[in-house]
Amino acid sequence: MGRLWSSPGLAIEYADRAILQLKDKKNNFLSYWRVLQDPKYEKPASWDDNFDRALKRAHIVLQNHKAEADSKKEEMADLVKDLTAFMMNTSANKENVDSLNQRYNKTKLKKEGKEYNSYIEYLDSDVAAATAQIISFEEQMQKDRKVIRDSEEDQMKWFWVPFWGWSNSIQMSEKVEKATKTFEETRTKLIGRGGKTMQVTRLISILRPLCNQFDDLIGKMGTAITALNETVELFGSQASNYSSIITSLRDMKTGVESGDFDMRDMNIEDGIEQAVESFTKVKMLAEEFRKTALLTVQEGEGDKTLK
């Protein structure tokens, strides 16, 4: 899930750089156009060579921009897949908890009669499955905790650090250690106590609140996925815009030499303005995703950190 945290920061960095470079290109184009339109302007003997060199340089720069936009589009698309899979897994976990909760409630209402025994059999398997899942959660958090601890020695090993900053890494370390301890205690109680009803009672007391957390998490992840999908589309459109600007540049020399050149007719200025607007939105969406993910994982404390 490293891309989950690193990609938005990279997208923001790329958008900022693209905006500055596009504005610079626009100013250069306008200045050049004004010079060419001046009746007193005389084309120097070396104009063809100079223009060819400038055109080649611009072509290379824009091709690089296009390649980077294509790359960011693919990276964001992969991130959408990761996040969607994570959200689907969260939904499945919520359904499991809801199912266990429903069976428990039915058992409480039917403590006598034959149906009670059948529900106890269900609860036997549920407790076993829940215990296995808790062990799995615990093992994963142990791994996460190790990664965080390693990062305290080397910040670059931990993908949260360059994204959230040093203090947030320490906060996450504390949260993971606390969560791991909770699961360790829960597993001990489940395994050590007799009586399935008592085990399920304790299990539900811990898992039931997760239902609301899952709902909140799924909602936030849905918002983030929407923002990311828009970002993917914007990167795709900018790659196309770069191709259009490259084509316009190729036509520029011919237009100037024929005396029938007007930059406004070629829509380069409008194209650059649209690109700036799109990358401004890319930045906004990436920041929106970063804040959403931060608030989700830090359970509401992220807004304090962002200020």
Whether residue 307 is contained in a domain is answered as no
Q: Which regions in the chain score pLDDT beneath 50?
A: 1-5, 109-110, 112-117, 119-120, 123, 148-149, 151-173, 176, 190-195, 197, 296-307
Q: Count structural domains, the chain.
A: 1
What 292-295 contacts at long range (C-beta under 8 Å, 24+ apart), as own/partner pairs, is 292/220, 292/221, 292/223, 292/224, 292/227, 293/4, 293/5, 293/8, 293/220, 293/224, 294/164, 295/220
CA distance 293 to 174: 18
Helix ranges restricted to H, the chain: 2-37, 47-109, 114-151, 161-164, 166-192, 196-258, 263-266, 268-297, 302-306
pLDDT of residue 171: 46
Task: Flag whether 89 is in a domain.
Answer: yes
- Report the first-to-last Cα separation within the chain, whole angstroms: 25
Q: How far apart are CA 55 and CA 62, in angstroms?
A: 10
Describe the crossing of helices 114-151 and 47-109 by its angle, rounded to 10 degrees. Answer: 150
User: Cα(189)–Cα(198) distance, rounded to whole angstroms?
Assistant: 10
CATH code at position 36: 1.20.1170
* pLDDT of amino acid 205: 58
User: What is the pLDDT at residue 183?
Assistant: 53
At position 264, the amino acid (one-letter code) is R
- State the residue range of the domain holding 188: 1-302
Would you state the structure tokens that stand for residue 234, as one six-digit string? 């914007």
Residue 172: HSE in the Cβ half-sphere, 13 Å Cα cutoff: 28
Assigned domain for 186 exists: yes
How far is the C-alpha of 207 from the C-alpha of 94, rounded, in Å? 9
Residue 232 lies in a domain: yes
> DSSP letter at 155?
G
What is the reported pLDDT for 105?
60
**CA 28 – CA 53 distance, rounded (Å):** 15
Tell me if 97 sits within 8 A of 207, measured CB to CB. Answer: yes
The per-residue pLDDT for range 136-156, each reduced to its tens digit, is 655 555 555 555 445 444 433
Which pLDDT does position 158 carry in this prediction?
Answer: 34
The alpha-carbon radius of gyration of the chain (Å, integer) is 29
Measured in residues, the chain has a length of 307
Q: Which of 253, 249, 281 is closest to 268 using CA atoms?
A: 249
Are the CB atoms for 246 and 62 separated by under 8 Å? Answer: yes
Residue 114 CB burial class (10 angstroms; 0-12, 13-18, ≥19): exposed
Report pLDDT for 302: 36
- What pLDDT is attached to residue 74? 74
What is the spatial distance between Cα 101 and Cα 200, in angstroms, rounded to a whole number? 9
Q: Global pTM? A: 0.39
Supply the pLDDT for residue 153: 44
pLDDT score of 155: 38
- Residue 291 carries which side chain, given as an amino acid letter? K
| Per-residue confidence (pLDDT) for residue 120, from 0 to 100 | 47
pLDDT of residue 298: 47
Residues 6+ apart with CB under 8 A from 209: none
